[in-house]
Structure 1
């Protein structure tokens, strides 16, 4: 059994239903990353990875985007538990 937990940015006063509906309407595949967006996303993923490493004691595998054109900034996998965290653009 596996579970997906999605985290969304939310503006003050924005209803959760609006957040999810807005995400479903966006087409993330059409939005190519530029160098600045890639750098920001990789930096954000680095902060997430650092916090995860504080909690996960077993072996981990990570991948960080190095080129524009994709929509994933980074992936973190704890090999012994199956925990996987990915940071997507948008």
Structure 2
């Protein structure tokens, strides 16, 4: 098998190392992008849950007044005997 020129043999290993490090860097950046996207999705989900919680809290706060209004307007009012 013919021997490779000395300049090529010096360049080849460093080229492989550079390519390998480039792949690692690319995968790191891609992983960060995926993580950032997922974090943005989770933030949106959290905002939606907070809105839903606020709406539910408002409905629960209004419930006693609605019950009293229904009792006041009922055809057969609730009395202590019942």
TM-score range, shorter chain: under 0.3
Normalized per residue, the structure richer in strand is 1
Higher RCO (CA-CA < 8 Å; seq separation 6+): 1
Question: With structure 1 as the length reference, what TM-score do the two structures score?
Answer: 0.26
Q: TM-score, normalising length from structure 2? A: 0.28
Structure with the higher helix share, 1 or 2: 2
